[in-house]
Amino acid sequence: MNPTPASRASSTRPRGANLSSRRMAYPRKRAVTACEHCRARKIKFDPASLLILEKLHQVLQKLDQQSAVTANGPIGRSDCVLPPPPAAADADDLQPSPASLALDGLHIPSSFSSPDWVVDWPIFDKQFRRGCLLDELFIAERSSSQALEDTVSVSRSRGTICADDIPGLVTRFLHFVHIKNPILDPKAITQLASRLAEDGVGWDRSSCLVLLACALGAIATPFDHRTGTVQQPDPGIQSDPATAENFYQLACRRLGLLDQSAIAAQCYLLSGIYLMYTMRPLQAQSRFFQASSIYAIYLKGQVAVQQQMGLEDDPLQSINLRLEQCLYWTCFKSECEIRQEFDTPVSGLAALAYPHMFPCPPTPDQAINDELGDGNESIPTPASNSSLLSLTHGTLREVEEQSWYYYLSEIALRRIANRVWQYFYQEDHTSWSHMNIYTSAAVVGDLEMQLENWNSTVPSNFRGLSTSDGSEELGTMIRGRYIGLKSYLYRPFLYYVIHHPDCKPETYRILEPLAMKAITTIIESITFGRFYHRHHGTWFCCREVTSYALLLLAAHKSGLTTSGQLDSPHEGLGYAELVKICVDVLRYWQADSPDIAKSREVVELLRDQILREG
């Protein structure tokens, strides 16, 4: 659980970093794949998983080669072309350029794709101020802080917890939360939970980590693949917000005592994930930033130690290397996701040229069967007897394998998504009116090929393919990510068609099928989405739903969804029904976050206006 000094940091000097030595911890000329690393360490792993790892490496190699063809910068803008990456001189001394980071999918995206920018599209006649949705969060945060300052007597009563609940809550955490972000050692966290249940909670960092796991275990529930809200969940598996908050507040009292260790980064990361579960994105953004910053310092410290010892490879052959790699990628992914919505500072983590394209796979040597049975027994959970909800459970090894397959898919799609943002979202939507249509369409074809290569090259037994039927959580989340990414890819062309109806016929012939794809993927996302399940990405789903509704409204107002040119109904649903689905989702979650309530108001107001006009 506690990553050791075996962590590998960057083989290149990060921008802005004050590292004087030319020789970093990774003197290799190329990134080391997880598969090669495991073979070099003579790790025994089943051939199927090694094949999966090798296939994924081949996919990303193809993606990088394809990306190199369609150079760099805000794509389509003929007056904005970044220079190519410098020729290889001394690979140990090269700084990662913005171009090379973009091609590798390792840059932090912008927030120009958020619904706060969509509501500013000219088609809506400037009825709403740009940023009017997120402003509700800042206003609520300020009002809350002011109310606390003005309170003469603040209650100091503290919520109580039952130590006997700790092992069960940690088990829930492992099944419902850890499986999507495997940054901890399940065996170690389970042992810590048992110890704390017997000896009580201390003030050390391990206690903080367990308290956060308990908070997440109490708030998380099994995946509910139903799309409606008629049925009520089984009482035995409902979340317990009060218990979750009690554990979280106890953990927060220990966060300020943490050092600059990897466990501290784990704690801040879990804290951010909990805040996303409870729809407090502003506070979560701060936690994710702290987690990334602490981990960047940790990695640089490991580099310094390695240089001082004169080691050219791993200082230690640690079984925790995979956890360190997962911690890096979860920090990076979390920062990317929150940055798509907030225009906030970026931590130093993204500037590190991290060499591992994927984490190392779990191995039999790391199997959690020493003190938890023989590894072939199912772990009982509060939802094991439920026939209503789909639950990822079974043996610990099966849970770990599911998590591993899903996590690899997430990393691969995150890197492709960052390329989409690098090409089309470096500037706001006004830049799309000036894009080179021919070049931009060619770039879309390249990115489509990357997505299809990812989808087709991954072995058939890889969990989380985009062909998921929606009844299993991890596969459903991957499919949602896949469809949503495609909608972002085609959005600039929908914008162009909406705001430039008088474009030349030859230009329209290029734009029309891409705009059609934008509408189709939006409809697919709305009809497929499982929006009533609480998880750490629920707030992001609500933001996407808001964008989908606004895009449909914009298309309808411009005449695209009524002229028959781009109308692509799905499952018999028309324009009004699709917007209603979005409104219902926003209404369901509006009590959790003030910006969601504002989003619903804006969508309903625009819908009523456009329906009257129609």
Give whole-number Cα distances, 215 to 170, 174, 184, 244, 487, in Å.
Answer: 9, 12, 15, 4, 34
Mean residue pLDDT of the chain comes to 76
Instruction: Band the pLDDT of 263: cuts 50, 70, 90.
Output: very high
Q: Which two tokens stand for residue 297?
A: 């310092």
- Distance, CA of 349 to CA of 294 (rounded, Å): 9
Is the pTM of the predicted complex or chain greater than 0.85?
no
**Are the CB atoms for 4 and 86 separated by under 8 Å?**
no
**What is the percent of the chain where pLDDT is above 90?**
46
Identify which has the larger pLDDT, 470 or 240.
240
Helix (H) or strand (E) holding 291: helix 281-309
* pLDDT surpasses 70 at 562: no
- Distance, CA of 614 to CA of 603 (rounded, Å): 16
Give the range among 14-23, 68-77, 121-130, 244-253 with minimum mean pLDDT: 14-23
- Distance, CA of 430 to CA of 121 (rounded, Å): 8
State the alpha helices, DSSP H only, in 458-589.
473-499, 505-528, 538-557, 575-589
pLDDT in tens, 518-541: 999 999 999 887 788 899 999 999
pLDDT (0 to 100) of residue 47:
56
pLDDT (0 to 100) of residue 321:
81
* pLDDT surpasses 50 at 152: no
pLDDT (0 to 100) of residue 344:
86
Averaged pLDDT, 192-209: 94
Identify which has the larger pLDDT, 471 or 370.
471
> Which of 535, 244, 217, 182 is CA-nearest to residue 381?
217
**Are the CB atoms for 529 and 227 separated by under 8 Å?**
yes
pLDDT (0 to 100) of residue 294:
95
Instruction: Band the pLDDT of 613: cuts 50, 70, 90.
Output: confident
Identify which has the larger pLDDT, 320 or 293.
293
pLDDT in tens, 210-233: 999 999 999 998 887 654 443 454
- Distance, CA of 519 to CA of 548 (rounded, Å): 9
pLDDT (0 to 100) of residue 502:
87
Instruction: Band the pLDDT of 113: cuts 50, 70, 90.
Output: very high
Averaged pLDDT, 496-506: 91
Give the range among 16-20, 181-185, 325-329 with minimum mean pLDDT: 16-20
Instruction: Band the pLDDT of 359: cuts 50, 70, 90.
Output: confident
Helix (H) or strand (E) holding 252: helix 241-255
Give whole-number Cα distances, 46 to 53, 331, 354, 361, 518, in Å.
Answer: 11, 28, 26, 10, 41
Angle, alpha carbons 564-437-501 (nearest 5°): 40
pLDDT (0 to 100) of residue 194:
95
* pLDDT surpasses 90 at 390: no
pLDDT in tens, 391-424: 444 555 666 777 788 888 889 899 999 999 999 9
What does the DSSP assignment read for 151-218? -SS---------GGGHHHHHHHHHHHTGGGS--S-HHHHHHHHHHHHHH---SSHHHHHHHHHHHHHH
* pLDDT surpasses 90 at 545: yes
State the alpha helices, DSSP H only, in 12-81.
34-40, 47-69
Instruction: Band the pLDDT of 79: cuts 50, 70, 90.
Output: very low
Q: Cβ neighbours of residue 59 under 8 Å, at least 6 residues apart?
A: 412, 453, 454, 457, 458
pLDDT (0 to 100) of residue 401:
73
pLDDT in tens, 268-295: 999 999 999 999 999 999 999 999 999 9
Burial of 280 (0-12, 13-18, 19+ CB in 10 A): buried
pLDDT (0 to 100) of residue 323:
87
* pLDDT surpasses 60 at 85: no
pLDDT (0 to 100) of residue 55:
60
Instruction: Band the pLDDT of 33: cuts 50, 70, 90.
Output: very low
Q: Which two tokens stand for residue 380?
A: 């009982």
**Are the CB atoms for 43 and 363 separated by under 8 Å?**
yes
* pLDDT surpasses 80 at 326: yes
Instruction: Band the pLDDT of 318: cuts 50, 70, 90.
Output: low
Give whole-number Cα distances, 426 to 108, 175, 493, in Å.
Answer: 10, 38, 16
- Distance, CA of 509 to CA of 596 (rounded, Å): 37
pLDDT (0 to 100) of residue 178:
93
pLDDT (0 to 100) of residue 48:
54
Identify which has the larger pLDDT, 367 or 426.
426
